[in-house]
Amino acid sequence: ELKVEQNPLFLSMQEGKNYTIYCNYSTTSDRLYWYRQDPGKSLESLFVLLSNGAVKQEGRLMASLDTKARLSTLHITAAVHDLSATYFCAVARWEGGKLIFGQGTELSVKP
Q: Which residues bind another protein (CB under 8 A)?
A: 31, 33, 40-45, 48, 50, 88, 90, 92, 94-104, 106
Nearer of residues 59 and 94 to another protein, judged by Cβ: 94
3 state SS of 61: strand
CA distance 19 to 27: 26
**Nearest CB to another protein, comparing residues 9 and 78:** 9
CB of 83 or CB of 104, closer to another protein = 104
